[in-house]
A and B are shown apart, each in its own frame.
Chain A
Amino acid sequence: MRTLELLTGGAAVAQAMRQIDPDVVPVYPITPQTPIIQRFASYVANGVAHTELVDVESEHSAMSAAIGASLAGARTMTATSSQGLALMAEVVYIAASMRAPVVMALGNRALSGPINIHCDHSDSMLIRDSGVVQLFAENAQEAYDLTLIAPRLAEHPEVLLPVLVCLDGFTITHSAEPVALLPDGAVSEFVGEYEVPYAMLDLRNPSTHGPFAMPDYYYELRRAQTAAQEAVLGVFPALAGEFAVLSGRDYGLVEAYRLDDAERAIVALGSTAGTVKDVVDDLRDEGEPVGLLKIVAFRPFPALEAAAALEGVARVAVLDRADSPGGCPPLHAEVAAALYGSGAALEGHVYGLGGRDLHPGEIREVFAGAAPAYIGLRGEPWPV
């Protein structure tokens, strides 16, 4: 019953959206996410998706409309990248606090400045503490699969949070790969009906959304969001299990790749994990005890799962595709906290900012303990 199609990651996400058939999709263009909304718009225009497309005038309004639609009682999805996410950041925080289960594809792209359209994870990291769930795809297939799981996760009564499916700009959004699609009916059945408590259009039970909270309640309301994030650590694996039965493809909060007897490991997010897997296979063939820990859920960060997967690994190298000027890069900080007291030797590397490629040779250097803190960077003097 499976069909295999040659699709870019963007097209695969658009296919997932068509199959989910959301009620409302606010759209605003930004590279490299645009192919998602364009293709989805053509599905609506041709009657194969039955969605109210709202062509908003900015990403700020895209998320604002999404909050309104989602809390009104409509399943709502959107997509953005980089500056779009930066512009909507204010409302992303509010979406999480209002517990609006909006699903959004994020075509990861470097933040300005200088302006750049290519991949890094600085946009994701900008909203690291916003309260939204962030799942990272390794390839087009994962972008498709995670998009199908996302509404169930977002709308789960213990969660009720926005869920971002992050796919590396260009590397995933624009690269064509064979993608196994589920039958439309199977997706409808898996996704089910949209249900939120206190839908605003339930006129007989009027509800107040987004009130003003002073010091006597704000703290508890924020704590409730943290609890919802924590719930994802249990809910996501359960949904992924259900999805595995349907698709034959299994997802965890993390993916341990050839880590069982590994002495050295790399931790990475997104498409880079695919390149690292390739290098791990080569090095294993050469007899090197190396492995990879791919982080699927960056928020919530599965610290226990990461620590368990890395147990017994003597040297761990974290690859960050975002810097934190003046501080510890975000993934490095998470892994350091997760491994605190484990005795593992930990090192961090920044790579690939603004879409600079990471080559297999550089990954070999990381495994050999010979890579610089900033991989692939030209030497001083820096241009100003």
Chain B
Amino acid sequence: MARLKTLVRNERGVPPLRGGHSLCQGCGVPLVVRTVLSSIRTPVVVVNATGCLEVATTRYPTTAWNVPWIHVAFENAAAVASGIEAAGKALQRRNALGADEEITVVTFAGDGGTYDIGLQALSGALERGHRFVFVCYDNEAYMNTGVQRSGATPFGASTTTSPAGLDSFGKAQKRKDMTAIVIGHHIPYVAQAVASHWHDLSVKVERAAAADGPAFLNVLTDCPVGWGHEPRLAGEVLDSAVETHFWPLYDVDRGKYRLSYVPERQQPIEKWLECQIRFAHLLRPEGRPLVDAIQAQIDEDWGDLLARCEPVAFGGQR
């Protein structure tokens, strides 16, 4: 089981992702990347979908990556990973790789590159059973292009293409349950995690990397620009998603559901909404019915999840 010291030690020497990149202050993405990569003990090859992480870390002729890294396009990260995994198998077979060289192919994509434009390639790769770890850093909108609505954007959130206005309360539809869609592929390991619970994330990464087949991690990750919060409050904002049951932490290990963290006392949904400008319009008096509807939906979803889970928590440390 990971300890913070171990993760830091794993990064020492040549960190997979160096500083000097241009991701924003308070952005949860590098936090997720560093936690994921320092929790994997084999050499890694990183595949990156188009998005903030790619743009901010590889402006030619510089790179922030000290591990093999590839970006091809927005919608095809899982297909690229399939090719690399197949290449690894082929090279191993003709002894062009060392027999001891076990490699973990890790894919990073945002919610756009996972829920929306990347869904087909991801579904295909999961169905084919390639051994790779797909990490979605889900910040609930197209942040790289300026905060447009995605399939991951929650009900009621104001984005630049679902703006709140006189005739609009923001996004009118419920978000897609991507984790459930992946679970429907019956792959060995699926988990939902959050950038602020590093320990929980790290344990899930270890399980994902050990899985004999595809593994998927849906990691809620903040975006100070798109969500509208102070960069320094990233951790608190993310925690409130978990404490309100908006973003349950759980995994599905070979078909078995397991809640990995149960808040001691569920916080009201306002706790999650009030710390982000994208929800500010909902907190006006006329937004009350919408907030109530969100609360009711969350409670229903939580109940459904509980019914599937064996509540085995593996510590609640953060």
Contact = CB atoms under 8 A, between A and B. Distances in A.
Interface of A: 23-24, 26, 50-52, 54-58, 60-62, 64-74, 76, 90-91, 94, 98, 200-203, 206-214, 217, 221
Contacts of B82: 26, 54, 56, 61, 65, 68
Nearest to A214: B59
B97 interface: yes
Nearest to A55: B128
A198 B192 CA distance: 35
A230 to B, nearest CB: 22
B70 interface: yes
Contacts of B120: 57-58, 61
Interface string B93-113: 110110001010000000000
| Most chain A beta carbons < 10 A, residue from B84, B88, B94 | B84
Nearest to B89: A52
A62 to B, nearest CB: 8
Contacts of A69: 83-84, 86-87, 90
B268 interface: no
Given A68-B80, A69-B84, A76-B83, A213 B60 contact: yes
Given A206-B68, A211-B60, 19 more contacts: A23-B91, A26-B86, A54-B86, A58-B124, A61-B76, A61-B125, A65-B82, A68-B79, A69-B90, A70-B83, A74-B91, A76-B83, A90-B73, A98-B72, A209-B68, A209-B69, A211-B58, A212-B60, A217-B61
Contacts of B60: 211-214, 217, 221
A207 B55 CA distance: 16
A199 to B, nearest CB: 9
Contacts of B66: 206
Given A64-B76, A68-B72, A91-B76, A208 B58 contact: yes
Contact of B70 (A200, A214, A221): A200
Which 7 pairs of residues, A with B, have the shortest CB-CB distance? Answer: A68-B83, A57-B124, A65-B83, A74-B87, A61-B79, A211-B58, A69-B83
A68 B124 contact: no
7 contacts: A60-B79, A68-B70, A74-B91, A94-B72, A94-B73, A211-B60, A214-B59
B75 interface: yes
A73 B86 contact: no
Contacts of A94: 72-73
B67 interface: yes
Contacts of B125: 61
B58 A71 contact: no
B90 A201 contact: no
Interface in B164-219: none
Given A50-B93, A76-B83, A206-B68, A68 B47 contact: yes
B58 A212 contact: yes
Given A68-B72, A200-B45, A211-B63, A52 B86 contact: yes
B251 interface: no
Interface residues of B, number: 47
A210 B76 CA distance: 13
B123 interface: yes
Contacts of A221: 60
Contact of A201 (B76, B103, B127): B103
A52 B71 CA distance: 22
A40 B76 CA distance: 25
A51 B86 CA distance: 9
A67 B45 contact: no
Contact of B83 (A24, A203, A209): A24
B79 A201 contact: no
Contacts of A56: 79, 82, 124, 128
A66 B90 CA distance: 13
Given A23-B90, A52-B87, A206-B66, A91 B58 contact: no
B211 to A, nearest CB: 19
Contacts of A71: 70
A213 B123 CA distance: 30
Contacts of B43: 203
Given A52-B87, A69-B84, A208-B69, A60 B121 contact: yes
Contacts of B67: 206
Given A68-B83, A74-B86, A91 B73 contact: yes
A201 B88 contact: yes
A50 B125 CA distance: 21
Contacts of A68: 47, 70, 72, 79-84, 87
B79 to A, nearest CB: 4
Contacts of A24: 83, 86-87, 90
B247 interface: no
| Most chain A beta carbons < 10 A, residue from B70, B79, B88, B127 | B79
B243 interface: no
B155 interface: no
Contacts of B45: 72, 200-201, 203
A90 to B, nearest CB: 6
Contacts of B88: 72, 201
A91 B83 contact: no
B54 interface: yes
A66 B43 CA distance: 22
Contacts of A208: 58, 63, 65, 69-70
B84 A72 contact: yes
Contact of A91 (B72, B87, B103): B72
Nearest to A203: B43
B86 A65 contact: yes
Nearest to A61: B79
Nearest to A60: B76
B120 to A, nearest CB: 6
B147 to A, nearest CB: 20
Given A73-B96, A211-B58, A61 B124 contact: yes
A72 B55 CA distance: 21
Interface in B112-140: 120-121, 123-125, 127-128
A55 B68 CA distance: 25
A73 B79 contact: no
A54 B84 contact: no
A201 B87 contact: yes
A66 B67 CA distance: 21
Contacts of B68: 200-203, 206-207, 209
